[in-house]
Structure formats: C-alpha cells, structure tokens
Amino acid sequence: MKRLLWLVGFAITLVAAAPQQEAMPPPLGPQAILRHLTMTAYPEVEAWLALQGPDGYFIGGVTANDIRIVEEGEPRTVEALDIRRPGMVMVFALNPARSFAVRDAQGVSRFDYIYYQFKTWLQRAPAQHYDMSFVTSTGILLRHTDDPGTLLDAIETFRNEATPNFRQMEPDLAVLTRALALAMEPTPLGEVAREVLFITAPITLEQADQLPELARQAREAGVRVSVWLVGHRDWVEMPQTHALIGLARATGGHFVLFSGQEVLPDLHEFFTNREQVYRLVYRTTRTQPGPVAVTIEANTAYGVLTAQGTYDITLEPPAVQWRQVPQTIVRVPPRPDAPRAEWRPTEQRLTIAIDFPDGTPRDIVRTTLYVDGEAVQTQTQPPFERFLWDLRAYTEDGAHQVQVEAEDALGLTGRTAPVTVTVRLVAPTPIAPLGQPTPTNLTATPDATEVEVTAPVTRPEAWSAVTWAVGLAGLVLLGALGWGLWRYRPPMPSGDWLARLRAHMPWGRPKKPEETARVWAVLEPLPPLQPGWPTGPRIVLRGAELILGADPAMANVVLADPSVSPRHARLWRDARGRVFLADLQSVAGTWVNYTPITTQGLALEEDDIVYIGRFGFRVHLGPPETQTEVQTPQEAEFQTSAPHAQAKDAP
C-alpha cells in the first residue's frame, strides 16, 4: 500500500514538473471593429465600422436603423450609411514541401492550381488599392507593393526557381513569423484590415506547438491568419491540422484543406468581402476641444456587436485676414460751403477673409469692426466679410487703428492684425474764374505793377525806291536760272514707274484705317455722384498718353473744377497696348473703383470706375492690338517691278 502511494505521488510530481504546453486562444467569433473615427468638418463625424463573422467574412444587411451611436453618454442619429472598400494589408506566405509537387491525372501539380488562382485574381485586381507582400521559406521576396503586376512577377519567378526543388524542401514555421511581422508594419492605407494567407504543407508536431504563441501575437495586433493546407485529405484528422484550424479560428481567419481535388476560394471575392466596412456619418454637439468617447452598437444576425473608439476635437479660433483696406483716405468737399461731416467719401468699403486653420469649417455668427479700440459696426447677418466704415465723424486729419473681430458658432473669436489708416481732409485748390489772370481770393499788393499785353499793330506804308530795285533784279535772276535748268534737264523716267515710286513714298500711300481710327481706351462720363457735381467730357485715348488737369498749359484734357489740380492725372498705354492711369500728386487724389491710386499707376480694366476729383468716368478698353501689317497692292507691285524699272532706265 505504501509502495502504491509512493508511485502515485511520484507520477503527480513528474506531471507537475513537466513544461505546460501553451493553449490555443479561443475562437475569435463575430466582432465589430471601429477602424476609422474622425471629425471631417465640424460638426460631422465619420466612422468606418467593420462587422465580421467568426471566419472574418463581412456581415451584410445592416441598415441605419440597426446602428446605435452613443457619444459621451448622449445618443446620436446616423445621418448617412454606405459600404466602402478602403483596401487592406495582405501578406502571402508560402511554406512549400513535397506535398506541393504532387500532380493529378492531368499532370497538374497542386502548386500549379494555386499559381493559376493567383494569376486570375492579380490580372484584374485594382492597382494602388492593396498593400501586398510576399514571403517564402527562402526569405522576403516582396515588401509592401500596391502593384498587382509586381506581385505576379514575384510569384512567377518563385515558381520557376523553386518548383523543381519542392520534393527536397521541408516546412519551416519561420515563414509565418516573418509574415506576421510584415503584416504588423505601418502602412499608408491607415487603419484597414490586415490578413496573412498562410499556404503551407503539413507541419510537424513540434512546429504545431509554436502556433498558440503566434496566434496570440496575431490576435493582439488585429491580424487575421487564413490557412490553406496543401496535402492529402487524410491530414484533416492529424493534430497538426487541428492546430492550424485553431490558429485560423483564434485570429478570425478561414481554413481550407486543398488536396488538388477541391475548388480553391476565388481570391477576388475572398478579399473584396473581407475588406468591406460600413461608413457612417453623424453630427456631434460637443463644443469643447479634447478627446471624445464613442460607442457604436450594431444589431446583426449574430446578435448585437459593439465597438468603441475615441476621436479628438481640435478647435482653433477662426483666422481673420485683411483683403481690402486702404492706407490713406482723402476726403474732399462736395461743394465749397459743405460741412466737413459731408465731405466725400462719407464711407469706406473694407473687406476681410475668414479661414479655419483647424480644418473644421463652421458658421460665422458675428463680425465687428473696431476703430481705435471701439466697436463702430457689428454684422450679424451675411455677408460677414464686408463692412462700410462711416467716415462722417472724422472731420480732422488723423491716423486711426482699424481691426475686425470674427466669432464662430462655437464662440471662438479671431481678429485681424491692426492696420493704421490715415484720414486726410483736403480743401479744393483755388482756380481762377474765366477771364481773370489770378484767383479771386488773391489780393494785389501796393508794390504790384500792372502789365498790359497788346498785340503789334500793322499798317501799310510806302515802299522805298531801293526796295523796288532789289526786287526787280531778283526776279530777272530767277527767270534766267529757271530757263537754263529746264533746257538741260536729264531724261525723265517712264510715267508708270514714277507713279509707282510716288505710291511707295510715305506721303503717297493711303493711310491704314487703324492708323487713324485706333482707340486704346474711352472714359465715358458718369452722372454726377452728388447734386452740384460736374459731368466730365468723353475722353478718348488715341495716342501714347494724355495729361488730365485743370490748367490748359499743363494738361491736354482740361477738367475745370475746384476738385481738380492743375496737373492731376496721367492716362497712357504701353507697348503691349495696356492702358494705365496714375495720380500726379494731386490734392483730391485719383480714384479707381473708389480706392486711391499712387503715382506708380494702375492698369485699367473694362468697366472700372474712375474719379478725377469730382468727375466720374467708366472705362471702356479698345480692341486688342494686332501685329499684322497690311500691304497695299501698290507696294507689292513696286517691290517686284522697281528693280526692273531701274535697270531699264539706267544709262
């Protein structure tokens, strides 16, 4: 009895001392995976939800009513739902041995069937859609390509080089280890499905003992492992095969035993199904920056599947920038007795641009114009980007700091950089009334001397005798010279050639229409902006330039008004036919589209509004310049006939 108890105790000790074999993780089962969760444009949030069955296949038939979204404890409504194919990471691992070389009655080996299945799929697989790698017992033959043709070339190269040696090869589980490492590497596709297709000959029992650890690594990394076991049907009862089946189930993969008589899965349908996800969109009410926890529940044929995830709300104040703001505003009186508050312009247009640097556009609810730190105008309705600054309160020269603040729907505010705008009030230049040599507001001094300008008086007087004699002698001499020249004149050329020569001379050619009718620009007068303002003339630019002003001695276009300086503005064209307008340091300024221009000038465009003092014009540009030179028939005839005529008339 004591001996029996001793033997039992010894056996228990041996069992306890033996190394424990790691158990295979349990089957993964159906699951929901939140592959992508982000805010696209506030307040819209986009999620990619992968619903897969126990063997990794996509669970279809789910509608928006079957999905429930909870964000920070608050339910949200699905506003859009569709199915997407975002791509996936694929690693093809070949672990060949003698079972790959077995042929059927037609002489086709098992590996040939596998090769043709890959070839059929890769010839129609989309490019730049998958992340594909290829690893064998000889090493990594291809790493992370998105070109199906490149993968097919690698498989064909392996087939040509390795097929004769299949019977000498032994299975090596290092192939699966390298494949898992490749599948776990980062990919440009982002958070997509990752799968290893492990195509292997039957493995040994020692190798099967390593599968639980590999299954645990793959499961933690979210990598599915599908297994194609290439061997006789009897292998389905072997413990090694059970270990491979457990590997596939523990990672959400699919298992196939291929003896050469079965039909292999269609790889196009296989991977298309396994990469699909549901794309859903909902709106958040969260207004504070930071992480947001989301739970999504889907009612499927396998029950309610739940996925959880977080996304970040990164909100920044709107960026506000100036688009149109003048550096100087010149105000002039509409009439001599007008109070300064009524001087023109009475308002100035300001324009801003609003952007969102955080990439989440949202509504603007308010914009405010600040002048010298005080709010002078608030916009609560669109357009929020434009202001009309009231200038009637600025009756003295001064510099003012202008700034605009914008507030979005979340209460975040942004401001433009402060800009200094100078407001100048300029009285009109005195202009002398017609018929007076000096302005009326200038008084004569006691030392002034009046100068009377008179025209010379001509009256007939008797000619002297000497004058008569000299004139008569000159007439006689001219007559003698004329007779001698006429008598000994050289022979004249033919009349036809002379006519052609005259036609070739500049004064003999007819003028081209464009030389006389070319109009580069027309300034059409506008109706007076205010009562009492003058209406200007129609100004036509035909030459190179025009000077506009109030002084006839300085300007060739006279605009008689107190608001116009003696030499006010210059209108000209360049060699390319572009028309420019520049201010000539006038008092009231030259304005284009209600903005003052400088002495450097501004290129005019069709329908521009121009103000020269109080004169308003609308710009109309002439037709574009053509470089084609028209040759008259007389010129062509002269160029071809003149040399012959010269030779004929030569002595």
Residue 98 has pLDDT above 50, yes or no: yes
Cα–Cα distance, 329 to 345 (Å, whole number)? 8
CATH 2.60.40.1220 domain range(s) in the chain: 31-85+278-313
Cα–Cα distance, 484 to 598 (Å, whole number)? 68
Whether residue 370 contacts residue 376, with contact meaning beta carbons closer than 8 Å, is answered with yes
Residue 518 has pLDDT above 90, yes or no: no
Helix%, strand%, coil% for the chain, nearest 5: 25, 30, 40
Element (H, E) at 182: helix 174-184
Surface-to-core class of residue 98, CB atoms within 10 Å of its CB (0-12 exposed, 13-18 middle, 19+ buried): middle
Residue 1 has pLDDT above 60, yes or no: no
pTM of the entire predicted model? 0.57
88-263: CATH number = 3.40.50.410
Strands 255-258 and 223-230: parallel
pLDDT on residue 418: 95
pLDDT on residue 212: 96
Residue 348 has pLDDT above 80, yes or no: yes
Cα–Cα distance, 258 to 419 (Å, whole number)? 78
**Half-sphere CA count of 399, side-chain side, radius 13 A:** 4
Q: Summarize the confidence of residues 26-43 as an average pLDDT.
A: 90
CATH 2.60.40.10 domain range(s) in the chain: 319-425
pLDDT on residue 278: 97
Q: Which CATH architecture has domain 319-425?
A: Sandwich (2.60)
Q: What is the pLDDT of residues 253-296, one digit of tens each?
A: 999 999 999 999 999 999 999 999 999 999 998 888 889 999 99
pLDDT on residue 475: 57
Lowest mean pLDDT among 302-306, 328-332, 598-602: 328-332
Question: What average pLDDT does the chain have?
Answer: 82
**Half-sphere CA count of 39, side-chain side, radius 13 A:** 26
Percent of all residues in the chain with a pLDDT value above 70, rounded to a whole number: 78
pLDDT on residue 443: 33
Cα–Cα distance, 549 to 615 (Å, whole number)? 11
Cα–Cα distance, 101 to 109 (Å, whole number)? 6
Cα–Cα distance, 324 to 601 (Å, whole number)? 18
Q: What is the pLDDT of residues 135-163, one digit of tens each?
A: 999 899 999 999 999 999 999 999 999 88
pLDDT on residue 31: 94
More confident residue, 143 or 465: 143
pLDDT on residue 333: 83
514-621: CATH number = 2.60.200.20
The gap from C-alpha 646 to its chain's centroid, in whole angstroms, comes to 67
| Residue 176 tokens, joined | 């699966």
Residue 30 has pLDDT above 90, yes or no: yes
3-state secondary structure 238-305: CHHHHHHHHHHHHHCCCEEEECCCCCCCCHHHHHHHHHCEEEEEEECCCCCCEEEEEEEEEEECCEEE
Strands 131-136 and 88-95: parallel
**Half-sphere CA count of 251, side-chain side, radius 13 A:** 33
Residue 550 has pLDDT above 60, yes or no: yes
Cα–Cα distance, 94 to 175 (Å, whole number)? 7
pLDDT on residue 471: 55
pLDDT band (50, 70, 90) for residue 489 = low
Report which of 518, 546, 545 is spatially closest to residue 625, judged by C-alpha positions: 518
Q: Which CATH architecture has domain 31-85+278-313?
A: Sandwich (2.60)
